[in-house]
């Protein structure tokens, strides 16, 4: 009897565990709030063999079912982590019937989130076109090959007869769509619209692995992306209505480096526009932007110092092709300090500290251990700029905390002088952030709350300068 009762108890326990897992499976939709940011997002929980996997979708950031590197569920407690540019965002919540509520922590900043059970995937934002007011120019979906990669994009051209000077738009770091849509601010769509209305053909395309394009952005490098830009040039040269002697590149953020590399490897580039360009290697850029963003968000100096110390160790490992597992103990030490700084409630919600720390360490290694990061940390754009003699326009935002003009502008100008370049111009837009919105502090945390428009004179500065070049 004792044996059978034990078996019966085991069966009851197993059934309760199965039922608990069934409760969490499926789609959970809601929002998160941190500082002044509010984002809609969704978690999908699925079962693979004996484990649970979590996938996150954030429509405004074009994230669709990204597999979370850390996802746990135990005794109605859910924990998951999402890598970000200023550190891992850690979510801890409680399941109660058909809802989950909890807190998140990223770079010392706390927020809240809430989710409810839903029956279907979150609807991704779809590009909308004006039906009542037809575009005053032609727009067509196109595709071209870059090696084995297929890149899908949009080509806009004036409706008037003739051949047109052309501009190719190159996005910043991270997988971006052809509009460079950031929190609903369609940066490249607006630039393309303005330039096409002023007589230019404009080509913009989805990054590798985004939209209609194949490949994987994080498994590619800035140099690979410059080859994509060269393939875009070859595509335009084959179009009957494009002036092949007047093809220029406009790059934003990392796109500026892509434009520079393409310009020194092609005689077909007649000018380049660099928006928020970089004058130091990627490792130094990461250190500076982390320091400025964390400080702007009110993070304590001691925590900023810890973040920068770890980032320097990661950078040094990447520069020297050292396996990041060799500095695992340093990443672990940071994770332990971070854990100690969590509130008592958050610490108590973590069922297994050791598993939590190990998953935190592994997620950090996953973030940086890819071809894009290894190349980016090492790459110094100055030697490339020192070879550029074609016309260059460089624009910066005064409140840009990602590529601050104080760190980059003078170095880039000096490189062009060394190149013997006689035709370059630079300008800093007052109160502008990295996206050229009128900002308050310049931090990425306020991007979503700002008006989806450029600071006055931004578009005109680009258009007028290019018109002066191609005349």
389-433 per-position pLDDT tens digit: 999 999 999 999 999 999 999 999 999 999 999 999 999 999 999
Considering the domain architecture, whether residues 267 and 294 belong to the same structural domain is answered as: no
Average pLDDT over residues 11-22: 39
Q: Using CA atoms, how far apart are residues 343 and 60, in angstroms rounded to an integer?
A: 30
pLDDT at 14 exceeding the cut of 80 = no
Q: Using CA atoms, how far apart are residues 261 and 255, in angstroms rounded to an integer?
A: 10
pLDDT at 226 exceeding the cut of 60 = yes
341-379 per-position pLDDT tens digit: 777 766 776 767 887 788 778 878 888 888 999 999 999
- Mean confidence (pLDDT) of the chain: 87
Domain-embedded: residue 412: yes
State the pLDDT confidence band at 146, using cuts at 50, 70 and 90: very high
Alpha carbon of residue 407 to chain centroid? 21
Domain-embedded: residue 125: no
Number of compact structural domains in the chain: 3
Considering the domain architecture, whether residues 290 and 393 belong to the same structural domain is answered as: no
Domain-embedded: residue 2: no
Q: Using CA atoms, how far apart are residues 165 and 200, in angstroms rounded to an integer?
A: 5
Considering the domain architecture, whether residues 262 and 310 belong to the same structural domain is answered as: no
Domain-embedded: residue 130: no
Where residue 307 falls (left for φ over 0; alpha for ψ -120 to 50; beta otherwise) is alpha
Please name which of 262, 317, 310 lies closest in space to residue 290, comparing C-alpha atoms: 310
Q: What is the pTM of this model?
A: 0.78
Strands 269-275 and 242-252: parallel
72-128 per-position pLDDT tens digit: 888 888 988 887 655 678 898 889 878 899 888 876 667 889 999 888 887 654 444
Average pLDDT over residues 33-53: 80
Strands 89-96 and 77-82: antiparallel
Domain with 357, as residue range(s), is 283-375
Q: Using CA atoms, how far apart are residues 195 and 181, in angstroms rounded to an integer?
A: 18
173-218 per-position pLDDT tens digit: 888 999 999 888 999 999 999 999 999 999 999 999 988 999 998 8
């Amino acid at each position: 009897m004792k044996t059978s009762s034990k078996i019966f108890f085991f069966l009851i326990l197993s059934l309760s565990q199965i039922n608990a897992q069934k409760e969490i499976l499926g789609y959970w939709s809601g929002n998160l709030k941190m500082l002044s940011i509010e984002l809609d997002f969704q978690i999908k929980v699925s079962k693979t063999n004996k484990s649970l996997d979590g996938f996150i979708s954030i429509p405004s950031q074009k994230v669709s079912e990204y597999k979370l590197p850390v996802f746990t569920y135990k005794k109605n407690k859910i924990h998951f982590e999402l890598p970000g540019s200023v550190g891992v965002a850690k979510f801890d919540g409680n399941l109660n019937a058909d809802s989950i509520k909890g807190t998140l922590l990223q770079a010392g900043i706390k927020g809240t989130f809430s989710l409810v059970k839903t029956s279907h995937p979150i609807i991704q934002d779809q590009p909308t076109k004006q039906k009542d007011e037809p575009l005053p120019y032609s727009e067509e979906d196109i595709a071209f090959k870059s090696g084995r990669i297929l890149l899908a994009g949009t080509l806009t051209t004036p409706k008037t007869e003739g051949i047109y000077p052309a501009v190719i738009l190159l996005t910043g770091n991270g997988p971006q769509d052809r509009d460079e849509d950031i929190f609903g601010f369609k940066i490249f769509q607006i630039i393309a619209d303005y330039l096409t209305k002023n007589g230019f053909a404009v080509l913009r395309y989805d990054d590798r692995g985004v939209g209609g394009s194949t490949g994987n952005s994080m498994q590619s490098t800035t140099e690979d992306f410059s080859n994509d830009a060269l393939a875009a040039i070859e595509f335009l040269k084959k179009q009957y209505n494009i002036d092949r002697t007047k093809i220029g590149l406009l790059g934003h953020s990392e796109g500026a480096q892509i434009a520079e590399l393409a310009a020194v490897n092609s005689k077909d580039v007649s000018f380049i526009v660099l928006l928020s360009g970089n004058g130091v290697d990627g490792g130094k850029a990461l250190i500076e932007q982390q320091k400025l963003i964390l400080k702007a968000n009110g993070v304590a100096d001691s925590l900023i110092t810890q973040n920068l110390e770890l980032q320097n160790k990661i950078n040094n490992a990447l520069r020297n092709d050292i396996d990041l597992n060799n500095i695992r103990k340093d990443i672990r030490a940071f994770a332990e300090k971070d854990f100690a700084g969590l509130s008592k409630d958050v610490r108590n919600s973590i069922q297994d500290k050791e598993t939590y720390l190990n998953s935190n360490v592994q997620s950090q290694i996953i973030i940086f251990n890819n071809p894009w990061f290894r190349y980016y940390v090492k790459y110094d754009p100055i030697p490339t700029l020192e070879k550029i003699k074609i016309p260059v326009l460089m624009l910066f935002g005064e409140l840009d905390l990602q590529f601050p003009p104080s760190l980059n502008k003078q170095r880039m100008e000096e490189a062009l002088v060394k190149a013997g370049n006689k035709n370059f111009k630079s300008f800093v837009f007052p109160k502008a952030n990295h996206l050229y919105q009128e900002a308050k502090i310049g931090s990425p945390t306020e991007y979503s709350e700002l008006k989806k428009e450029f600071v006055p004179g931004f578009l005109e500065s680009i258009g007028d300068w290019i018109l002066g070049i191609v005349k």
